[in-house]
Amino acid sequence: MRTTFSRLLVLAASAALQACGGPDSSSTSGPGDGPVPTSRMTLYLTVESSAPDVAVVRANLNDGRILGKTYRLDGGDFLRACVNGVCRNMADNDSVFTPDYIARFDYQPGVDFVVSFNRQQGQSAPNSRAALPPAFTIVTPANGQQVSDGDTVLVTWTPTGAPARVELSYRAACSFPSGSKAFSTGTLSVDTDADGRESVAIDPIVSFANTNVPAPATRCSIDVIVRHELDGRIDPAFDDGIATGVVSRVVNLDYIPR
């Protein structure tokens, strides 16, 4: 189980922001102050449904390097998302450092959401795409189920998601006698046999929350997230990228120590 305290994420993010210094212009940061060539860009594209009726298309353009450059679209550059003949321009999320471009649609599984990168100068990339897996329901445990030390919870869902990849992760918020709180997130397991069931041990989640604190947690709210993922395709005009269709569902566990 890979786990990361939120305070470490904040430190890493701060370092990244200091290194990057904000996004570059897509139209003036290339050779000779011209457009950045599409062939030097990487596209990260997700289509995700975390609620029954909504799909969110999200895209980020960058140079593909760790702590590298991200690009804010200007000079006539824009992203457009389409599904089943309905098209929407993707809106800038107005982040100072890492702009994402977002469009919202009705949830539609099994059909391609197509994202086009349109340019007045430089090469356009009209055909990046990803499809959503079918919807699913978490069957067990019940939402809000109480758990304690030594417990293992069987998480089951239907349908199983195959042939999509299925990954379980968590986010936890724990309270301590001093009144302080700690937050952590991590990957739990992958349903490699595609049987729609995975066991989640509570102790490792809570033990990590108790690291470097003088007294154990008095309570934790633990969200277990089940994600079904399908790979999409990035337009070959880009240097590289990742496209993924995701359906995710969450069940909450209420931890109280014995």
162-210 pLDDT tens trace: 999 999 999 999 999 988 999 999 999 999 999 999 999 999 999 887 7
CATH number, residue 99: 2.60.40
List Cα–Cα distances, 98 to 23, 101, 193, in angstroms: 6, 10, 37
Residue at 13 is within a domain:
no
- 63 C-beta neighbours (distance < 10 Å), count: 16
Task: Quote the CA–CA distance of 169 and 132 in Å, as a whole number.
Answer: 19
98 and 142 both lie in a single domain: no
Confidence bin at 21 (pLDDT 50/70/90): low
> Nearest 5°: phi and psi at 159?
-65, 175
213 and 142 both lie in a single domain: yes
Q: Could you tell me whether strands 197-201 and 152-158 are parallel, antiparallel, or unpaired per DSSP bridges?
A: antiparallel
Look up the pTM and report it.
Answer: 0.86
Supply the pLDDT for residue 17.
41
Q: What is the DSSP string of 86-98?
A: EEEEPEE---SSS
Q: What is the dihedral of CA 65, 69, 70, 73, to 10 degrees?
A: -130
Residues 6 or more apart from 211 whose CB is under 8 A from it? Answer: none
Q: Which of 107, 131, 155 is the last residue of a domain?
A: 131
Q: Is the dihedral of CA 60, 65, 70, 76 positive or negative?
A: negative
Quick: pLDDT tens for 65-82: 988 999 999 999 999 999
145 and 104 both lie in a single domain: no
Q: What's the domain range around 110? A: 19-131
Q: Which of 160, 156, 169 is closest to 134 using CA atoms? A: 160
220 and 191 both lie in a single domain: yes
Q: Which of 66, 99, 131 is the last residue of a domain?
A: 131
| Overall number of domains in the chain | 2
> Nearest 5°: phi and psi at 204?
-60, -35
Write the single-letter amino acid at 181. K
Residue at 171 is within a domain:
yes
Task: Quote the CA–CA distance of 207 and 211 in Å, as a whole number.
Answer: 7
155 and 251 both lie in a single domain: yes
120 and 28 both lie in a single domain: yes
Residue at 82 is within a domain:
yes
pLDDT over 90 percentage in the chain: 81
Write the single-letter amino acid at 212. N
Task: Quote the CA–CA distance of 75 and 110 in Å, as a whole number.
Answer: 35
85 and 141 both lie in a single domain: no
54 and 105 both lie in a single domain: yes
85 and 156 both lie in a single domain: no
pLDDT over 70 percentage in the chain: 92
Supply the pLDDT for residue 19.
43
SS3 (DSSP) at 53: coil
147 and 250 both lie in a single domain: yes
Quick: pLDDT tens for 143-169: 999 999 999 999 999 999 999 999 999
Task: Quote the CA–CA distance of 227 and 164 in Å, as a whole number.
Answer: 9
